[in-house]
Amino acid sequence: MTFSGSISTPVGVLEVHSDGIAIRRVTWPRPGRALAGRGASDAARDPLLAEALEQLGAYFAGERAAFDLPFDLGAQSETTSAVLHALYDTVLQGETVTYGELAERSGTAVPARAIGSIMGANPIPIIVPCHRVVASDGLGGYSGGTPGEGLRTKRWLLEHEGALPPALF
C-alpha cells in the first residue's frame, strides 16, 4: 500500500510517498496534478508519512538541518545507490560537493560527468540532497522544482541552508 501527502513550501508543493516502512518518493507535481487534499487523510493513516511531512515542514522553517527518516531508493543500479548513499551520508546542510568530489566519495569508478545523471535519478530530493551537488565552475543543473524553475529552486535551497550567500537581486 502506498500513502501520499503534500506540503506547500517556498519552492512549490512537494508530494511525499511512503509505503509505511520507508519514504519512496518526493516529487514536485505538475500543475493541476496535486493530491487535492489527500495528504491529511493519508498522513493520519501512516505515521511515517506524517513524520516526513513534519520534518520537511521543520526543514523549510529553518528548524531542522538533517532528516531522520528511513528511505528506499527503489530499483537503482548498485553504483547509483552507492553514489546517492554517499551523498546522504557525507554532505551535510550548509555544504556543497562537486560532481567529481562526490564520485570520489562514493568509492565507485563513476566519472564526474555521470554524477549529474545519477542526481537526476534520485527519487527522494531534499531528503537525499542532490541540490548540494554543484559543478566545479558554478551551480550545475537541477531537475527538481516546479517545471522551468530548477536552477532557481537549487539556488533557493542552497541559500536557505547557508551554502550560498543570498542573491542581491
> Which CATH number goes with the domain that contains 107?
1.10.10.10
Residue 138 in domain = yes
pLDDT score for 41: 58
In a domain, 167, yes or no: no
Question: Is 134 in contact with 157 (CB distance < 8 Å)?
Answer: no
Q: What pLDDT, on a 0 to 100 scale, did the predictor assign at position 165?
A: 78
Residues 147, 112 share a domain: yes
Number of Cβ atoms within 10 Å of the Cβ of 24: 19
Based on the fold, state whether residues 82 and 142 are members of the same structural domain.
yes
Domain that holds residue 39: 3-60
pLDDT of residue 61: 95
Question: Which pLDDT score, from 0 to 100, does residue 37 have?
Answer: 44
Spell out, as residue ranges, where the chain has pLDDT lower than 50: 36-40
130 is catalytic: yes
Predicted pLDDT at 46: 86
Grid cell of 103 as nine digits:
564520485
The total domain count for the chain is 2
In a domain, 168, yes or no: no
**pLDDT at res. 70:** 96
Q: Which residue has cell 550548509?
A: 94
> Which residue among 130, 133, 134, 163 is the active-site one?
130
Q: Classify residue 52: in a domain, yes or no.
A: yes
pLDDT at 59: 96
Residue 86 covered by a domain: yes
Same domain, 85 and 147: yes
State the Cα–Cα distance between residues 167 and 158, nearest whole angstrom.
Answer: 11
H-type helices in the chain, by residue range? 38-45, 47-60, 78-90, 99-106, 112-120, 150-160
